[in-house]
Structure 1
Amino acid sequence: MKIKRLFILALFAVIAPFSFGYVREFDNGIPLAWVKDRTVVMQLSLGSGTRTLRDGFTSFNDSAVDALQTWNPHLAHLQFSWIKNSPVTPTEGDDEMSVIFDNKIFGSNFGSGVLAVTLLAYRNGNFEETDTVFNSAISWDSYRGGLTPPVYDFHRVAIHEFGHTLGLDHPDQAQPKQTVIAIMNSRVSDLDTLAQDDINGVTSIYDTGPAYKAIAGGPVLMDLSTRGTTSTGNSVLIGGFIIQGSQPVQVVVRCLAGSLASFGVSNALFDSVIELRDANNNLIASNDDWFTSNDAQTICSYRRDPPNSIESALLVTLNPGSYTAIVKSYSDAQQAATSGVALFEVYDLRTSSSRLGNVSTRGQVGTGDNILIGGIIVGGNTSKPVVVRALGPTLTQFGVTGVLQNPYLELRNANGNLVEANNDWQQSPEAATISADGKAPPDAKESAMAPTLSPGNYTALVTGVGGTTGTGLIEVYDESPAP
């Protein structure tokens, strides 16, 4: 992973009143940019704010958001998004886009007069990670109009640094030098927003790309996901799903890992790999870092791009049948396998009349953040009957050791309200329906429910009764008539 450092100097510059043109970032003649249609998630860790800034913002995070929004209208095939007061610990090399104040650049000193530095990591011309560090030794405010040193305007410097994040370089330091009115010049000036040259620069990069695609609605399980802990050997996270119908279905199968830290998961898997296998265990496809895939732009065009560059995603067209996805840690001679929480997801892109019929995931059921969690999205405008199960003891029949002896299952709606809960499936008021559907768990201590769900988002949570732990299996079945 190659790192290039860029910086803006805290020197006043008089801008000449004519222009030659914007300048892009290059590496050995290759222009640098993000994968088209990607959503770049910026982790803003600039403090909650204890005073009102001169332009009315109550925190530097808010000023940074406005700087990002200054660029967004000019990005036809890319968008910035952000997480304010991010829980992510800023680290160089974590493939997160951190924005912070510090008196050092991840351990290195700022040069004399340097206001901020943006570090860019890229592979094969595609950005992988950016980090922006604002010099905390500088006196900062957020304002417009002429500069008032020694207090510098955070907002215009942020616009400049986020221009580097997009792939623009300093016109006034180009070879040959460009004399241009631009926020992207290396020296801060009275210019406090984008100039036409800056806009021309980003539109030249992101004005073209694959068209964004909408996923057709319908009374189907449009998204099935499971979050759990993956480790090594028999303790990897294993997801299974079935395509029902007579026609091939195009799906996105992905694994989120490091980006879960943005949602407060403290022990997220650092670097994920996903393998997809058919019913005969033949490898269909695998992926390590999704943004290096030939399908990366298409995945982005469906807005299914993972937030972190070293997460995994596959775009595949599958015939009806059963499939297994294995989620595990990346490892090689230099990087040992690790364990952590990961999220396995399958998205039906609705390209045919066939559908996702069910999903199941086997993983470690712990406590706290380490329980097994399944996600369901019911599309369309009609209710859908489903069966949700949590198995444990039955897994011993398949050679699994250390199983969860007594699973407990909860189903909650998008607001977190309890829809239904079950300990032993035979005690469920829907036990007769579960049996009639052929979905009765083999062991009486296992859990199951058969609700009819209105369109919307749902979460199923599997824990162990009494705080017990072990390997468990969560399953979601679509019980409506198959296509």
Structure 2
Amino acid sequence: MELNLGVPSAPLRDGKTSFDAVAADVIALWNAEIDRTTMVAVSRSLAPVGDENGYNNVFFDSNTYGEDMGDALAITITYIDTGQFRHESDIVVNSSYTWDSYRGPLEDDTDDLHRVLLHEFGHFLGLGHPDENFQSVDAIMNSVVGDLDALQLDDTYGIAFNYNVGGSYGGVGDNDDHGGTFATATVISRNDTVSARLGSWDHDYFAVQLTTSGSLTIRSTGDIDTYGYLYGAAGELHAINDQGGDGDNFLMIGGMLTPGTYYVLVEGYSGSTLGEYTLQVSFDSDPAAGDTVGNTFASAASLGLDAETSAAIDYNFDIDYYQVVLTQAGYLHVSSTGDLDTLGGILDGDENVIAFDDESGEGSNFSFRSRLLMPGTYYIEVTGFLGTHVGSYGLTTRFEPVEGELSTAARLMNLSVRTGASGAFGPLIVGFVTEGSSKLLLVRGVGPTLAGFGVTDYMGDPRLTMYDSAQAEVDANDDWIEADDALELALLADEVGAFDLTAYLDSAIQATPSPGAYTIHVEDYDDEAGQALVEVYDADGLNVSGRLLNLSTRTQVGLEGSILTAGFVVAGEGTIRLLIRGVGPQLATFGVTDALADVRIDLFNATPSIIGSNDDWGDAQGDIAAASATVGAFALDAGSADAALLVELSAGSYTVQMKGVGDASGQGLIEVYEIPSQADLLNGNRGGNRTR
């Protein structure tokens, strides 16, 4: 280890006379825990410093070979050749920080080189961050520096697994009862029972030879928490399970196995899982293990549109396919029942996923409604969660036909609002109206992901709640990734063309509301102010009677220079007439005491170019008052300084921006209304819906 950390300007608190001495002490601590390898500390090294130069350099700098280190305390860079062998690692300590070497609680104004180098030399030796691999342990190798200043049990177990030879470490040590690799696996028969024991960071391999096709049922028994895996000779995974058996034991079934050698891997829940277990293996000459439902589209079982059936996931990675045929357009509702943790989806004939769900039903069952399906053949897919669960399940389908003529006429498809919210702004409240029939919506409250679009003052942890017109909660979400339908939310976002949510703290729901008025409330979990984006996507598309009718949002405008921005997308054929209003002074009649005194709105197209503006609504072209009455909006006082526009738009993306004249601040309301056609009015289809 080529140490070039130098000498501090003042004595270090732990008595060391140089930073190189701190590093040498850390190297000695790691060396005491490992066999077969020794790190050699070279203080005041004369070796050249550089990337991929054949030397393991350890030094201070504010960047890593030209790359900014950001707020990282230190970075370990490892170089790996094409054979996956490490041939060099350099440790760069960030010189932008104030460094000392001490023990005890971490201090706010001085960073401890001792504990940081303990962490970085762990990376040098091949250890990762246990807390980023779903482990909750005390470890110097956790990703966030803390009050720990010494190696912990998890650290020493981890390094022993990589380097030691005197224990039972996954077949590496001398005292292991079963091999830790394919080559050293214990050979067992296809119907066998074997006793075994796991030591610290141990794992056991067993080899099973099949001379005929069939399936293997493999289970563990005992008092320790075990995982099981079944691999083919080329390393392909055939089965995996954690707790499918009794207690903490696994139960897995490898199906569709052809003649050859297979390997069973048994490991504990963690490196500290110690104790005895029994492995039982049994062979079934039926490769499909009794499977009765086809695993391909060609062998799919036929199923009615309003039907109930029962079947089973018979082995790991088993897939059941059902074929449904639609003779008219409509929506397909599909759900599972039973104790098995199932996933379900609908695919078209080209294997495109139309809908997908995990746990929206009761317990671990799926339940979903497809988007609008045209007449044709579709396939329902049922699997066990992660391919690891086997057992019986029930399946129910219900078809919701769409009656009448379908239309592709222009309509509002997507609605969005972005502005400051929480803190001094208060919650962001967005209202919208649907009509015609129930419809599938994707609703999102976005904060942290906005950073990817250059927004620096984003809301840190948005929480989203949807209410109906009676203020009853329809649905809510805080962190979208923790939702039961997180996978379907991601799939739905891709389907409607929404950008990916790159932060788990953003929020999202999918809803299928009946026609009516709804509001979306978005606020920060800790009530910290920041920019937030609310989006409402029509996931049903065109050709449906249900549609989004209008958008409204009210918030504080002008605070810290903020403006209120509303966006919408027009899709379909022809044009649509819209009434767009920016309301400030008129809010006083509803008891709002801090309303904007004078409002201006600007309408942009996707270019973006301004295609319409208004300051005082009385100066706008068209009969604003008549249009307001037609859509059921409250009247604006004659001569008020509110703003409004009447526009006719074709398909495209549009944005409305609202601000106070003279950069004034106060409460403001944006409204976007679709103006019904004369035919709609004559048929009584539209009018009288509004949100405030």
The interval holding the TM-score normalised by the smaller chain is: 0.5 to 0.7
Q: Distance in 2 between matches of 1:103 and 1:366?
A: 45
Q: Give the CA deviation at 1:374.
A: 0.5
Q: Distance in 1 between matches of 2:519 and 2:133?
A: 32
Q: Which amino acid aligns with 2:426?
A: S
CA RMSD of aligned residues (A): 4.4
- Identify the residue that residue 228 of structure 1 maps to in structure 2: 419
TM-score (norm 2): 0.41
1:455 matched to 2:646: no
- Identify the residue that residue 598 of structure 2 maps to in structure 1: 406
Aligned length in residues: 326
1:349 matched to 2:544: no
Q: 4+ runs of 1 displaced by more than 3 Å?
A: 89-92, 101-109, 112-125, 171-180, 197-201, 207-218, 431-441, 480-483
- Identify the residue that residue 71 of structure 1 maps to in structure 2: none
1:276 matched to 2:474: no
Q: Give the CA deviation at 1:456.
A: 0.9
TM-score (norm 1): 0.57
Q: Does the C-alpha gap of structure 1 residues 321 and 469 become closer, same or farther in structure 2, counting only changes over 3 Å?
A: same
Q: Distance in 2 between matches of 1:385 and 1:124?
A: 56
Paired residue secondary structure (2:440): strand
Q: Distance in 1 between matches of 2:473 and 2:71?
A: 36
Counterpart pick for 2:636 among 435, 442, 454: 442
TM alignment of 1:13-162, pairs within 5 A = 103=92, 108-109=116-117, 110-111=120-121, 113=124, 121=132
Aligned 8 A contact 1:341 1:370 in 2:
no
Aligned 8 A contact 2:627 2:675 in 1:
no
TM alignment of 1:63-462, pairs within 5 A = 103=92, 108-109=116-117, 110-111=120-121, 113=124, 121=132, 175=170, 210=345, 212-213=353-354, 219-232=410-423, 235-245=426-436, 247-302=437-492, 303=494, 304=498, 306-330=501-525, 336-350=526-540, 352-366=544-558, 370-432=562-624, 434=627, 437=630, 439=633, 442-443=636-637, 444-462=640-658
- Identify the residue that residue 63 of structure 1 maps to in structure 2: none
Q: Does the C-alpha gap of structure 1 residues 422 and 272 become closer, same or farther in structure 2, counting only changes over 3 Å?
A: same
- Identify the residue that residue 5 of structure 1 maps to in structure 2: none
Q: Does the C-alpha gap of structure 1 residues 119 and 470 become closer, same or farther in structure 2, counting only changes over 3 Å?
A: farther
Q: Distance in 2 between matches of 1:212 and 1:103?
A: 46
Aligned 8 A contact 1:441 1:447 in 2:
no
Aligned 8 A contact 2:621 2:646 in 1:
no
Q: Distance in 1 between matches of 2:536 and 2:91?
A: 40
CA offsets per residue over residues 282-323 of structure 1, 9 Å max, x none? 111111111111222221111255332111111111011111
TM alignment of 1:4-19, pairs within 5 A = none
Paired residue secondary structure (1:253): strand
Q: Give the CA deviation at 1:242.
A: 0.4
Gaps (5+ residues) in structure 2?
A: 1-66, 74-89, 98-110, 137-141, 145-160, 164-168, 172-179, 184-232, 241-316, 320-342, 346-351, 356-370, 373-407, 686-692
Aligned 8 A contact 2:579 2:628 in 1:
no
Q: Distance in 2 between matches of 1:116 and 1:441?
A: 68
CA offsets per residue over residues 343-399 of structure 1, 9 Å max, x none? 111111127421010111111212687211011111123221111111112223333
Q: Distance in 2 between matches of 1:90 and 1:220?
A: 48
Q: Distance in 2 between matches of 1:389 and 1:175?
A: 69
Aligned 8 A contact 2:481 2:504 in 1:
yes
Aligned 8 A contact 2:601 2:613 in 1:
yes
Aligned 8 A contact 1:389 1:441 in 2:
no
Paired residue secondary structure (2:512): strand
Q: Distance in 1 between matches of 2:128 and 2:135?
A: 22
Give the fraction of aligned pairs with identical amino acids, expressed as a percent: 30
Paired residue secondary structure (2:535): strand
Q: Distance in 2 between matches of 1:387 and 1:102?
A: 62
Which structure has more RCO (C-alpha within 8 Å, separation ≥ 6)? Answer: 1
Aligned 8 A contact 1:306 1:313 in 2:
no
